[in-house]
Amino acid sequence: MAVNPINPDATARVEIEYCAQCGFLPRATWLAQELLTTFAYEIRELALVPGKGGILEVRVDGEAVYNRKDAEEFVDPKLLKQALRDRIAPGRSLGH
């Protein structure tokens, strides 16, 4: 198991599964950067998972917090950060 050297007590594992066929890798890496920048102390590990079929899904500890097919649009990073905050750092201010 990976350990976050900034915070060894961090336990959250985030996965971003993206459609490689659709060219969603740039969007997935951008989302990863946003999440790692905001939650550097709370995320133990973040994985990019190649997929297919138009998928763009963000999971925290195996539970989906965003699925593009359900939302029928790309996620607003602010809303995604709020969803992650609610799961891994409740009560924490995001500053916006």
Q: Which of 56-60, 62-66, 74-78 has the lowest mean pLDDT?
A: 74-78
43: pLDDT confidence band, cut at 50, 70 and 90?
very high
The CB density around residue 54, as the number of other CB atoms within 10 Å, is 12
Distance, CA of 82 to CA of 77 (rounded, Å): 9
Distance, CA of 72 to CA of 69 (rounded, Å): 5
pTM: 0.88
91: pLDDT confidence band, cut at 50, 70 and 90?
confident
